[in-house]
Amino acid sequence: MHLGDVAVCDVDGRLIASAGDPGRFLFARSCMKPIQATVSLGAIRDERLPDREVAIMCASHNGEPVHVGTVRAVLERAGLDATALRNPPGWPLDPESMARAQQKHRELHNCSGKHAGMLLACVRAGWDTTTYLKPGHPLQRRIRRAVLRAADLDVVEVGVDGCGVPVHAMPLSSMATIYARLSTPERLGELGPSVDRAVRAMRAEPYLVGGRDRNDTDLMAATDDVVAKSGAEALECAVSLASGLGVAVKIADGGFRAGGPALIRVMRAIDAITADQEHSLARHARPAVMGGGRQVGELVADFDIVPGS
């Protein structure tokens, strides 16, 4: 049974290790947010944003109060409010916040931080704020060029993501390459300073990137040099800034519960995390299987990666 695919690449795009099909073609979904935020930051230029506001631009957040407040802060900086957001209204991903929410709101959608950052970029650059979702908008054209450069591709297929922005399709190994290159922003030319800014903010404010009980947030919080980002349909990406190895993991059926265990197993296999760090991430590495209100087992990732060719 084919359960998923793994690609581990270095900053030159070489396939270092893999499992399954590292060439699997897929949409990058929310794992592209660090690059999308990088382009927004480039358009915002020299404005000194707090780490938390940059991190929320890279986020698929839980919709907790701290996330919603930070989204609103970005919008206020742009002189806008939530009516300017073009993402759909949403519910919080966090169960506690969901229980308190009375109705859907655009700020609650997990992609609202990315959209707020795009709006701020449009205001600062003098671009239209009502059409920023369109592939031909100046911001989206810049994002496409940045994706091609970071992935070393000549072309990407473009679709529509769940939040309405253009979404890019590419091989899984290209996603691993993009994440590897987050460790060497100087190699990305004019994108470099903004890439560095996004990476530093994600490291400084991991809770803003996801939130309570999120594996990307907890993986970054447990380590000194990992940047991680989860995407829809169980796409998980990460980079060890020290080694420059980028990782992309895709669970075949899109089941989120397998994404954390698989990513953590790969990160341990490439020595991006220690045994103690893996142990501290046990709730993500070996999530409990419940039955009758009690734990009756655990979900374990059991696969090996093999050297790339």
The structural domains of the chain, ordered by start, are: 4-307 (3.40.710)
In one letter, which amino acid is 247?
V
**Secondary structure (3-state) at 7:** strand
**Secondary structure (3-state) at 296:** strand
State the residue for tokens 């519910």.
Answer: 91
Out of 91-105, 132-146, 163-177, which region has the weakest mean confidence (pLDDT)?
91-105
Distance CA 42, CA 180 (A): 20
Give the mean pLDDT of 125-140. Answer: 97
| pLDDT exceeds 90 at position 57 | yes
Residue 259, phi then psi, degrees to nearest 5: -65, -45
Any residues with CB less than 8 A from the CB of 77 and at least 6 apart, and which? 47, 49, 53, 120
Percentage above 90 pLDDT, the chain: 93
**Secondary structure (3-state) at 228:** strand
How big is the chain by its Cα radius of gyration, in Å?
A: 18
Residue-level pLDDT at 1: 46
Residue-level pLDDT at 46: 67
119 close to 133: Cβ distance less than 8 angstroms: no
Residue 171, phi then psi, degrees to nearest 5: -65, 150
In one letter, which amino acid is 282?
A
> How buried is residue 215: exposed, middle or buried, by Cβ count under 10 Å (0-12/13-18/19+)?
buried
- The reply to whether the predicted model has a pTM over 0.85 is yes
> How buried is residue 2: exposed, middle or buried, by Cβ count under 10 Å (0-12/13-18/19+)?
exposed
**Secondary structure (3-state) at 115:** helix
Structure tokens at 142: 């810049």
Residue-level pLDDT at 47: 75
When the pLDDT of each residue in the chain is averaged and rounded to a whole number, the result is 95
